[in-house]
Amino acid sequence: MEKDINWIRDEISNVEAVPHGSTHLPNIVDFSSSVIKLDLPIDKIISNIDIYSYPDTTNFEFRSKAAENYNLSPNNIFCGNGSSEIMWSIGLAFVKRSSKSLLISPTFGEYKRILTIMGSDIEYHTLKEDRGFRLDISTYLDQAKGKDIIFICNPNNPTGEFIGFDKLETIFKNSPNTLYIIDSAYIDFAIDDFSYREKMKYFIDRYNVIFLHSLTKSFGIAGLRSGYCLASEEKISLLDRVKTPWNINRYAQEVSIYILENEKEIIKKAQEIKNSSIKLRKKISNLGFTTIDSTTDYFLVKVGNSLEVKRKLLEEKILIRELQSMGLNNYIRVTGKDEEKNNLLLRLLKRSDFR
């Protein structure tokens, strides 16, 4: 610990470094990650890139292609080095010290880190196990009134609940001066077409909302890092003020543009993986485990001790996501894979020591 800590922000004392994603263990079958592996023609996409030149710091082509897909202006789009970077830009631009915020719990942990470091006072809406970890809308609406900023992961990570658009509009109307950040990283698993885009366009025209969209999950480019958000032109202009220059490298820009030009074909894989997850969840339930229904490619499984189950599965070269950091000590998160890999996990879960 530094002897002189006068220059360290007070908020940092309440935050720990969190390892995200990836494993370096060899020959691991990874059920923890919901990133889809795709066969993109990467060599062809990046063949003409000149690495000696800086990338376009305005991300204009990327923004324009995303805007076209939503029937929006490029001025409604902000691009980032993954949606996590966009969240941090939102924190810098919009989260004031001592602001009042609301989070669902359990949910993706980066929202809490951002709000904590920015000095926001966080209230939690705790999802109850006896309700299947589903939102209690009446209680939530009461908690949301008067808040300055609210993050909602929709579908929620790790529970997989998708809040429908009618219910979402009820939330927006309930506290219209609140800034809502809707993280739609997994929406392409929940909805099997792009019909949600008209709704998002409708919402950003009428309500105080920013929609985040990651290209990491359903388009399988976690290693490149790319994402974007949709909002009013005023909010996007404020995000531009805090953006890191050249925040997206040229490779990521070109691959992102290719994905957005070919997304209708690429996205079919997301539904295939989701269907695999549905089958896997039913088979795990048939083994006697309690599982939680999900709209995404991942789902929760109740076990005895998640850390112990993770350790035992790692011995068998299988990685799952334990959720103790989210307060779910007796649950793991599993993502469906191909049939051969799913059967490998099922054979192991039949053993009594995984209960």
Residues 6+ apart with CB under 8 A from 62: 79, 226, 228, 248, 253, 256, 257, 260
What is the model's pLDDT at position 355? 66
What is the model's pLDDT at position 319? 94
Digitized pLDDT (tens) for each residue of the chain, 355 residues in all: 455 567 778 888 778 887 655 556 778 899 998 877 777 777 777 778 888 888 889 999 999 999 999 999 999 999 999 999 999 999 999 999 999 999 999 999 999 999 999 999 999 999 999 999 999 999 999 999 999 999 999 999 999 999 999 999 999 999 999 999 999 999 999 998 888 999 999 999 999 999 999 988 877 778 889 999 999 999 999 999 999 999 999 999 999 999 899 888 778 888 888 999 999 999 999 999 999 999 999 999 999 889 999 999 999 999 999 999 898 999 999 999 999 999 999 999 998 676 6
Quick one: how far is CA 38 from the chain centroid?
A: 19
Looking at this protein, which amino acid is placed at residue 26? P
Where are the chain's structural domains? 10-39+267-354, 55-263
Angle between helices 60-70 and 250-261 (to 10 degrees): 20
Of the candidates 168, 191, 166, 194, which has an alpha carbon nearest to the alpha carbon of residue 70? 194
Sign of CA dihedral 75, 77, 81, 86: positive
What is the model's pLDDT at position 169? 98
Burial class (CB in 10 A: 0-12, 13-18, 19+), 304: exposed
Asked if 189 contacts 270 with a C-beta cutoff of 8 angstroms, the reply is: yes
Asked if 254 contacts 45 with a C-beta cutoff of 8 angstroms, the reply is: yes
What is the model's pLDDT at position 223? 80
What is the model's pLDDT at position 9? 82
What is the model's pLDDT at position 194? 87
Is the domain spanning 10-39+267-354 CATH 3.90.1150.10? The answer is yes
pTM of this prediction? 0.93
3-state secondary structure of 155: coil
What is the model's pLDDT at position 53? 86
3-state secondary structure of 171: helix
What is the assigned CATH class of domain 55-263?
Answer: alpha beta
Asked if 185 contacts 152 with a C-beta cutoff of 8 angstroms, the reply is: no
